[in-house]
Amino acid sequence: MSTKKYNWLPWPVRMLGRFVLRRIADFSNHFSRENLYRYLDKEIRVLNEAPKRTRVLNVGAGGQIAHHVSRLDNSDVTTIDIDPDRGPEFVVDVCNMHCFRDGTFDFIFMMEVLEHVRDPHVALSEIQRVLKPGGKMLMSTPFVFEAHDVPHDYYQFTKFGLQYLLRDYASVEVHARNGYLKSCIVPVLRLYKSRYVTDVCFGLMFMAFVFVTYPLIWLLNKLVRSDDATSGYVALCTKAHTVLTAESQQETLNEGLALSAIAAESN
């Protein structure tokens, strides 16, 4: 929520307003981004403890994600974004990263970005191209969530959709960020970002209700066992050390058929 239109207010009032807005956003993010930063910080620790410096690409500049990524002290970090106002190092579309050679990066972060990309298949193909063999990508995307950054919010991915999109990686781990009940709360909490005053008031009242009843919500969330809903997913993907071309795959198949024929003749 922008505060630029309130610049006519006295400085102390503006500072108090910004403080309150940050606290509201933090409370909302406790549900909408639950566990997201835990997965992010875990990979940052691994990179900081690596025996040699790594090259890291952060797709999507600015915000809390970039703040966490800035804690990398054993990596050379490159940031890209399609929006120059977010302060990226390169203004580049993730669907066409022509400025990077194949196998440039050891690790790629793409957090809360894929849902805003018009051609996710193309974006993920480019990510895999610039990732070194054996390199890793950590990505996240919302699921039970309201449309945001409209009109550039195009997709919501299920766990199975992500597994299908990431099928060319050697290994893929997809984790739900939170449980069924908490995910259902998120869209109502985020009404505080609405352009309608009545929605904002309702969202703030609901936020107060959630704050007071949080122990009960926590317990009910534990009791609900369904995993069919979550605020979003986090996926950790590892690229194969060797990527076989179509020709090499055919050669491997032919060799296997030849060995099978030899074995059958010997029997």
Q: Which of 161, 176, 178, 165 is nearest to 137 (CA)?
A: 165
Task: Indicate the number of domains in the chain.
Answer: 1
pLDDT of residue 29: 86
pLDDT of residue 15: 75
Taking a C-beta distance cutoff of 8 angstroms, is the pair 60, 113 a contact? yes
pLDDT of residue 162: 97
Q: What is the pTM of this model?
A: 0.82
Residue 143 DSSP SS3: coil
Q: What is the CATH number of the domain that holds 118?
A: 3.40.50.150
The residues, ordered by sequence, that sit 6+ positions from 107 with a Cβ below 8 Å of its Cβ are 43, 47, 54, 55, 56, 57, 75, 135, 136, 137, 138
Walking along the chain (267 residues) 10 residues at a time, the average pLDDT comes out as 58 72 84 92 96 96 90 96 93 95 97 96 96 97 93 94 95 95 94 92 94 94 93 96 55 50 53
**DSSP line for 23-62:** HHHHHHHHHHTTTHHHHHHHHHHHHHTSSS-EEEEEES-S
The domain containing residue 139 runs over which residues?
Answer: 4-266
Taking a C-beta distance cutoff of 8 angstroms, is the pair 20, 12 a contact? no
